[in-house]
Amino acid sequence: MNLHKLILTNNACYKAGRTITPRGIMVHSTGANNPNLKRYVGPDDGLLGKSQYNNHWNQNTPDGRQVCVHGFIGRLADGSIASYQTLPWNMRGWHCGGSGNDTHISFEICEDGLTDAAYFNAVYKEAAELCAYLCKQYGLTEKDVICHSEGYKLGIASNHGDVMHWFPRFGKSMDTFRAEVGKLLAASAPTPVSTPAPSDFAVDDRVVLNGAVYADSYGGGKGRSFQNRTCTVTRIVDLKRKCPYLLDNGLGWVPKNSIRKA
């Protein structure tokens, strides 16, 4: 993910200052053949490039509309793909024309002519990575990710078709997108830490030894045998080893079945 931040502080939505508790993510696409981030995000930060018409969304009502999303994905001036955060993630956006504004983080994918597979694959990947990032930030899962058209079907957004007029052209759907987000979340999940099996004995326990002692904890170098010798456990290692208990600071290593508590 190539995430940058340029908050649209001049937009009336930002000035309204309302916040939400994010319960999902809504994916939009712009509906216009212009893949350049500078069309929507500005002013130029040195990466975006300058908007020719200065019609980006960092103004009170861009194009005369009350509209603002939390982020955009598209091309930088050098042609690379990036994400831009344009509102605080927990700010109420003006993105879907329904109650989804009260619950969902939103971002727009800048559309091109909808025929370039390379561009589509790049922004699709970037969008999945952004969703995975946001899911981790707010305790969400891939099941909490929808697009605008799904929002309409759920009754929380206006009647728009994005992104399902675009994704299927390249063999993708919101189901494949959610699956990709799920894979990213699984790949980044922390590996469970294995808990050692509990020992029947602890360091400093007094035990009675009946059997042989060994030179190492793997059972190598069998030594003397003892009967009813009282000893102290001075070290315990991996219980999967044959002889994990060291007695009397060097008397020898012994298996569990050779000792009992005194």
Residue 106: give its domain's CATH number: 3.40.80.10
Question: Does a structural domain hold residue 199?
Answer: no
Mean pLDDT for 174-180 is 98
Residues 22 and 94 in one domain: yes
Together in a domain, 184 and 211: no
Q: Is residue 158 part of a domain?
A: yes
Confidence of residue 124 (pLDDT cuts 50, 70, 90): very high
184 with 210, same domain: the answer is no
Give the chain's mean pLDDT.
Answer: 95
With a cut of 80, say whether residue 193 has pLDDT above it: no
Residues near 235 by Cβ (< 8 Å), separated by ≥ 6?
Answer: 203, 245, 246
| Residue 92 included in any domain | yes
User: Is residue 161 domain-resident?
Assistant: yes
Mean pLDDT (whole number) for 138-153: 97
Q: How far apart are CA 103 and CA 89, in angstroms?
A: 11
Give yes or no for a cis peptide into 43 (omega within 30° of 0).
yes
**Percent of the chain scoring above 70 in pLDDT:** 97
Residue 175 in any domain: the answer is yes
Q: Is 147 left (phi over 0), alpha (psi -120 to 50) or beta?
A: beta
Helices (H), 103-226: 117-138, 148-153, 174-188
pLDDT of residue 4 exceeding 60, the answer is yes
pLDDT of residue 196: 53
The helix or strand, by DSSP H or E, that contains position 229, with its residue range, turns out to be: strand 222-236
Q: What residues have CB less than 8 Å from 89, skipping those under 6 apart? A: 22, 70, 105, 134, 137, 138
The whole-angstrom separation of Cα 220 and Cα 245 is: 13
| Domain range for 177 | 3-188
User: Is residue 197 pLDDT above 80, yes or no?
Assistant: no
**Confidence label for 200 from pLDDT (cuts 50, 70 and 90):** confident
Q: Averaged over 63-80, what is the pLDDT?
A: 97
- Stretch 105-123: mean pLDDT, rounded? 98
Shared domain check, 175 and 88: yes
Length of the chain: 262
Chain-centroid distance, C-alpha 254? 46
Q: What was the pLDDT predicted at 249? A: 87
- Residue 192: what pLDDT? 67
Q: Is the pLDDT of residue 195 over 60?
A: no
Partners of 109 in beta bridges: 29, 73
Task: Dump pLDDT digits (tens) for 83-104.
Answer: 999 999 999 999 999 999 999 9
| CA-to-CA separations, 245 to 64, 237, 259, in angstroms, rounded | 78, 7, 9
Tokens of residue 21, six digits: 């508790």
Tokens of 194: 């294995």
95 and 63 both lie in a single domain: yes
The pLDDT, as a whole number, for residue 181 is 98
Same-domain check for residues 161 and 211: no
198 occurs within a structural domain: no
Q: Are residues 108 and 220 in the same domain?
A: no
H/E element, 116 = none
Residue 216 has pLDDT above 70, yes or no: yes
Q: What is the pLDDT of residue 143?
A: 97
221 and 182 in a single domain? The answer is no
pLDDT at 125 over 90: yes
Residue 257 CA to residue 12 CA, distance in Å, equals 75
Whether residue 48 is found in the same domain as residue 176: yes
Burial of 9 (0-12, 13-18, 19+ CB in 10 A): exposed
Per-residue confidence (pLDDT) for residue 191, from 0 to 100: 67
Q: Measured between alpha carbons, how far is 127 from 167 in angstroms, rounded to an integer?
A: 12
How far apart CA 109 and CA 41 sit, in angstroms, is: 12
Helix (H, G, I), strand (E, B) or coil at 187: helix
Using pLDDT thresholds of 50, 70 and 90, give the confidence band for residue 25.
very high
- Residue ranges of alpha helices (H) inside the chain are 12-16, 117-138, 148-153, 174-188
Would residue 194 count as lying in a domain?
A: no
**Of 188, 217, 235, which marks where a domain is finished?**
188
In a shared domain, residues 184 and 212: no
Count how many domains the chain has. Answer: 2
In this structure, are 177 and 213 located in the same domain?
A: no
Of the residues 188, 221, 238, which one is the last residue of a structural domain? 188
Average the pLDDT over 57-73 and give the result: 97
